[in-house]
Amino acid sequence: MKSVQRIQALVMRHLYVYVRSVPRLMDVFFWPVMDILILGFLSVYLNSINTGGGLNFLALLLGGSILWQIVDRSQNAISTYFLEDVWYRNFINIFITPLTWTEFFVAGAILSIIRVVIVAIILTVISLLLYHFSIFYFGSALPIYFINLFLFGFVLAVFISAIIIRFGSSAQVLAFGMAILVQPVSAVYYPVSALPIVFQYIAKAIPVSYVFEAMRKVTNGGVLSTSDWLIPLGLNLFYLIIVSFFFVAMVKKIKIMGKLLKIQD
């Protein structure tokens, strides 16, 4: 029960800020909206010159962009949530309470889901109004996509948090660039086969590349197979275990080095 209260404390603490801060709200919506405006109009244009038909650019580009936002926004939300207490020099106050790291990240995940769902609703409405494209085009596979994309964003965020714990706030640039770093090998807008062979191997180790491959399969009239969601789920869970151990190891290391307080500097 106290664990629930502690998670509630952190969720509320961050919601207080979001509700009040226009720049924070802008940060949540601005980039995703810009992305779908650009890719949406590009898709409309490509569809108009694709007179032979055969390719649905709206589904491939706009759909890809909306789904990618789930990775990008979930990672960004959890990383920002982590950094908030570093920026405000509140980190130590938080971690001398009975709060556990698990509770801390569960609260981050809840906040992230709230943010991602709100962004997804707004993007869905915009894409419906401007391009007559609905994300529900992907049908019953959508929840499976969502879980895998969100999990991967979460894994990236825990990894970034571990790096910030170890190397301090100077490593925070990762919080805003990590998702972009893996995007080229995530096969968001093109198939894995379009990548050079070395990158294809890397892409196969990236869980979300399977999700985007599956999205293209469904778009082209194919049917989702068990492996389309089981492989990325397995990879995500594997990486989640790895980054959790990595995070715990970094916390142990920094406590031995006596520099936990210094991450605020």
Partner 1 sequence: MTLPTKRFSIETTALVKEFGTFRAVDGLDLKIEEGKIVGLLGPNGAGKTTTIQMLLDIITPTSGSIKIFGKELHAHKQEILSQVNFSSPYVALPSNLTVFENLVTFARLYGVKNPKQKVKEVATFFKVDHLLSRMTASLSTGQGTRVNLAKAFINDPMLLLLDEPTASLDPDIRDQTLKMLKQIQKERGVSILYTSHDMNEIEILCDHVIFINKGKIREEGTPDELIKKFGHKDLNEVFISIAREE
Where along the sequence are the contacts to partner 1 (CB under 8 A)?
Answer: 2, 5-6, 8-10, 12-13, 16-17, 20-21, 84-85, 88-90, 92-100, 252, 255-258, 260-261
Around Cβ 256, how many Cβ atoms within 10 Å?
Answer: 9
Closer by beta carbon to partner 1, 125 or else 261: 261
Closer by beta carbon to partner 1, 9 or else 142: 9
Closest separation in Å from C-beta 258 to partner 1: 4
Cα gap 77→31, rounded to integer Å? 13
Closest separation in Å from C-beta 230 to partner 1: 37
Closest separation in Å from C-beta 257 to partner 1: 7
B/e letters for 2-25, b = 16+ CB within 10 Å, e = fewer, are eeeebbeebbebbeeeeeeeeeee
Tokens of 157: 């965020």
Closest CA to 31 of 20, 42, 39: 39
| Contact partners, residue 84, CB within 8 Å, separation at least 6 | 14, 17, 90
Residue 184 — φ and ψ, nearest 5°?
-60, -30
Closer by beta carbon to partner 1, 93 or else 134: 93
Closest separation in Å from C-beta 15 to partner 1: 10
Closest separation in Å from C-beta 16 to partner 1: 5
Closer by beta carbon to partner 1, 242 or else 262: 262
Closer by beta carbon to partner 1, 100 or else 227: 100
